[in-house]
Amino acid sequence: MTAPGMLPRQAAAAVAQALKAAGCPDAVYDARFLVQLVTGQDPRLSDAPLTGVQTARLNELAARRAAREPLQYLCGCWPFFDFELVVGPGVLCPRADTEIVAEAAAALLQGTTDPRVLDLCAGTGCLGLGVKRLCPSVQLTALEKSPDALVYLRQNAAHALDGRGLAAPYAQVVQGDLFEFYKELPESSFDLIVSNPPYLTAQEMTQLQPEVAHEPAMALAAGPDGLDFYRAIAAHYQQALRPGGALVLEIGWQQREVVTTLLQQNGWTRIECRQDYAGLDRCITARRPG
């Protein structure tokens, strides 16, 4: 694919050609990203020929990307807001759309002193840590079931916000199951609950994009209709909030009506929806009455 002595721009072009042949949708961007990851320089701005070590590493990464492994996994970290999260196989990749959910949650905490926040199905911790980045006084608890994802969550909870004026530790990490954890929570434990739970239907799980298929099924699948986690949260987590406390859920773009109905049936109030940058329904907010 590439050979020692190639100029970075030549290497990027060769990698882009291979990625296009493999069906990668953003082959040119990905190729430049991989060359920069290996060399530390933008290939459009560097004339330093690739070394043998760099070439071997670049070919390895390009082959993995051609197999449609997510770019985030190849990098080992990924930006969220203005900080970086450790990421890799076994955990859901952070996505820019989730920043919208964090912003919606942070807005609901205005005027709350030292708010207590629970992040359910935390994964990398991007959602809860994003809320804390916007509201530094947040006392964050992050729940995750997967042992693989916990590795990344613990690292991010300890290091993601270093150098940004926030006191460590940034989150209390708890290994647990959303379907059982509510039983351990005293009433009115939190001011806000956030979650980006699994929400794909059984049918959608059979039609995943190649990159998404590399991500853990545990973080994606939510039963035949994609609502298993929303049902549990709607039914069991209201009492964990103080009266008037808020719930913020990331949703699939077609789930607004059905999730709203679930919340209404379980007594939640002030239910609203917020769209993402593409104008698609992205998150639902609701309140415990009181």
| CB 7, CB 47: distance < 8 Å | yes
| CB 80, CB 100: distance < 8 Å | no
pLDDT, tens only, 272-283? 999 999 999 999
Looking at residue 163, its pLDDT comes to: 61
Cβ-in-10-Å burial (0-12, 13-18, 19+) of 180 comes to exposed
| CB 65, CB 74: distance < 8 Å | yes
CA angle 264, 132, 266 (to 5 degrees): 10
pLDDT, tens only, 226-265? 999 999 999 999 999 999 999 999 999 999 999 999 999 9
Average pLDDT on 190-206 reads 94
| CB 91, CB 123: distance < 8 Å | yes
Q: What is the pTM of this model?
A: 0.92
In angstroms, the CA 236 to CA 197 distance is 15
b/e per residue, 123-152, with b = 16+ CB within 10 A?
bbbbbbbbbbbbbeebebbbbbbbeebbeb
What is the average pLDDT value for the chain, to the nearest integer? 94
Count of residues for the chain?
290
Confidence of residue 165 (pLDDT cuts 50, 70, 90): low
The architecture of the domain spanning 75-287 is 3-Layer(aba) Sandwich (3.40)
Confidence of residue 160 (pLDDT cuts 50, 70, 90): confident
- Classified as helix, coil or strand, 98 is helix
Q: Both tokens of residue 190?
A: 């939190």
Annotated domain spans of the chain: 8-67, 75-287
Number of Cβ within a 10 Å radius of residue 236: 17
Looking at residue 1, its pLDDT comes to: 80
